[in-house]
A and B are shown apart, each in its own frame.
Chain A
Amino acid sequence: MNDEIATVEVEWTEAACILRIAGELDLSNATHLEDRVRQEAENCRALVLDLTGLRFIDSSGVRMLDHLVTAYDGVRQVRVATTDPGPVRFTLKLCGFDDALLTTSTDEAVASLS
């Protein structure tokens, strides 16, 4: 895990577990961050990944999001918040990430949970 390029903060609300990942997400820390997210989100109803503070995401990061969405499919809802336009949103769109899961803020994300 590359401690210097990403930070993680966790916030619990009634509706969801909100994980803020800031910095950069690439192949050096994607696997570790995925484990961390799974650990934190173990008992939550819904998961909001706040990536508005993320400056960079590569295909390893996209894969990590993909794993989480797949793993939680039908178990708990997942939302991903990114600034739009922004480099992270750009990459996610490039990789065909499901628009329905994308929001621009955590508030919007929580509001979209059913």
Chain B
Amino acid sequence: VTVAGGEPEEPEHRPPDALTGDTAEELYDAAPCGYLSTHPDGLLAKVNQTFLTWTGYQRDELVGRRRFLDLLAPGSRIYHETHYAPLLRMQGSVQEISFDLVRADGTRFPVLVNSRLRNDDEGRPLLALTTVFDASDRKKYERELLLARRKAEQYAERLAILQLAVAELAAAAEVADVARVIVGVVRDAFGAAASALWLRDEATGRFDWVAALGVPDPVGEPPFLTADAQLPQHEAIQRGDVVVVQDAAEARRAFPLVSAAFEGGPAGTLVLVPLVAQGRTLGVVASRFAERRDLDVDELGLLQTVGRQAGLALQRARLFDEQRTVALTLQRSLLPHDAPTDPRLQLATCYLPSEDAMEVGGDWYDMFGLDADRVAVVVGDVVGRGVHAAAAMGQLRSAVRALAALDGDPATLLGRLDRFVEGVEAAQMATLAFAELDLRDGSLRYACAGHPPPVLLAATGGARLLWGGRSAPLGAHFGAGHRSGGQVVLAPGDRLLLYTDGLVERRDRGLDVGIDLLAAEVATWGHAPLGAQVDAVSEAMLRDAETRDDVCLLGLSFREEPAFEDRVAADRQEVATLRDRLAGWLAQRGVQESEWDTIVLACSEAVANAIEHAYDDDAAHQVEVIATVREDQLLIRVSDAGRWRPERADGIRGRGLAIIRRVMDHVTIDRSAGTVVTMHRRIHPASGP
């Protein structure tokens, strides 16, 4: 008798085995596999003791009474009928068929079965002889194998997510970014339904709720964690270790305060991961699974790792935020808040801190009165970045204010500043453009210490660069040794723009190209009111910059008439009042009364056009009207953000536009973003210019 793969033989009454002394019958009954024989009708003819022991049946329950088929579980029965029986009949034998037997006590018993048909002399089936092998271990092994594989896959997947998270954490510059990554990773890597994050407030030591992901109320979300609360968050914070609240029962026992959260929704496992850096817990992530989740040692280890990585990222981000905030605050506090006010002067500034958080630099602008009729404007740039640069900038700014008050021209001032920076190392090599304007006659004296040239925009249009008065940066020893200044006279309506190099400097082009471009942009936006011009120029210059350094702009206009700036809702009823306001402004600007009607008519047509066509009478939108008078040039700009739609059959728009074109000298229509109708007209001031 062979066992594995062997064919069962009908035990014969042979003499006892010479070696063991067992009879064949004893060997048959005690074999390590089950033996059974079945009649052609399926009824069991004979079974051995091993089979009976495995299945728990009595011999007389089976032999002659039950078929093998009857002992099979339903799924196996189907397989028996569709595969086993036909194969056996056709081939005479079958090997390693997997069946589930049903034991006497109803439990399943997985087996592997080999069968062979024994025929009589005429080839008719006499008996089917079957060996039965216990496959429960094998099944278990297969299951374990499958489980292990799935786990390995999960682990790999989770590692990939974690690696991604670590990369994201490394890239996250600010605390808010870190928080977002942290709450996401526990959910994505472990399949938690929801996560919430509390971070330590260094000032109070309290843990404040900062971020959540998933269902809104994962763990009751206390807005902050108080020290005496019996929350699992606390245990995680104190132990610096992952804490798991497996189910409602455990919550009731250990953390009664959170058990309510379990009673409410599905009783999913709660996991608390502390965010630890250098032995200090900076925060804690609470994650809630949709159902009970048994986390194994590996998973807990991974969570602990996540917590440490996040803790480090958090620490770094905090430091980063802190430094940036200090530098920005310092810089902001050093920018002037007391701009001189004089009807002969308009000022507009724009300060854009660097996009790179650690690159907060030493750019500054300043403007102050020298006496009742003279003002000074400065734009400068201290070498270096961060808090030191901002501090040096502050000192230099104060020095400029103090020294400019003394007698002397801008060149003299630069000489004095050279001596000042000898004692302030961080301010050495700073560049600046300084200008003082006499409001009585428009005379402007200026000097540039290693700084890009100011742009002068004439009221009549056309921008030029002030290349005079140039010398080396402050404290530079390579300079020619003397400071020089330049002088121009501003006409009423002229504008001056000072700026720092961040506005024009770009890696992919020369500084001169950038400066020329700036002059062109200044001219392009010359019609806009000063504040809008400064904003528009900075936007245009920085639009496609890859990274942005600190940028400062300071615009000044001399004796410029204020612009007309108005916004009306896209409502037909609004146009009449706009006409009144525009007519009033034209009167103030000294435009002859005979010209008001035509100017107002053109503007009214453009506004009506925007209301009717661009906005389809949707009063939620607005039409913007800007009008300026520079010298004898009137400019009106009507803009909307709506769509330009095909002209209607009745030609209304055509008639409106025709009116505009006939009463204005020059009309442009820009439809690149909404519609901007720009109208120019030479006017004849009622009173002389």
Contact = CB atoms under 8 A, between A and B. Distances in A.
Most buried by B among A24, A56, A59, A94: A59
Nearest to B600: A56
Contact of B612 (A27, A56, A94): A27
B658 interface: yes
B572 A2 contact: yes
29 contacts: A2-B572, A2-B576, A4-B576, A26-B572, A26-B575, A26-B576, A26-B608, A27-B572, A27-B575, A27-B612, A28-B572, A28-B575, A56-B600, A56-B601, A56-B604, A58-B604, A58-B605, A58-B659, A59-B608, A59-B655, A59-B656, A60-B608, A62-B655, A63-B650, A87-B601, A91-B601, A95-B655, A95-B658, A95-B659
A93 B655 CA distance: 12
B611 interface: yes
Interface of B: 572-573, 575-576, 579, 597-598, 600-601, 604-605, 608, 611-612, 650, 652, 655-656, 658-659, 662-663
A62 B653 CA distance: 12
Contacts of A87: 597-598, 601
Contacts of B605: 58-59
Contacts of A4: 576
Interface string A17-49: 000000010111000000000000000000000
Q: Report the contact-size class of chain A (Cβ under 8 Å from the partner).
A: 10 to 19
Nearest to A86: B597
A51 to B, nearest CB: 14
A5 B572 CA distance: 12
Contacts of B658: 94-95
A59 B659 contact: yes
A72 interface: no
Nearest to B596: A87
Contact of A58 (B608, B650, B662): B608
Interface string A59-81: 11011000000000000000000
A58 B576 contact: no
B659 A91 contact: yes
Nearest 8 pairs of A and B residues by beta carbon: A28-B572, A87-B597, A59-B656, A59-B655, A27-B608, A5-B576, A28-B573, A27-B572
Contacts of A90: 597-598
A71 to B, nearest CB: 14
B655 A63 contact: yes
Contact of B663 (A26, A27, A56, A94): A94
Contacts of B611: 27
A42 to B, nearest CB: 24
A58 B656 contact: yes
Contacts of B575: 26-28
Contacts of A95: 655, 658-659
Nearest to A95: B655
Contact of A2 (B573, B659, B662): B573
A30 B598 CA distance: 19
B580 to A, nearest CB: 10
Contacts of B662: 94
Nearest to A85: B594
A107 B663 CA distance: 31
Nearest to B579: A56
A5 B608 CA distance: 16
A62 B601 CA distance: 12
A2 B659 CA distance: 23
Contacts of A56: 576, 579, 597, 600-601, 604
A26 B658 CA distance: 16
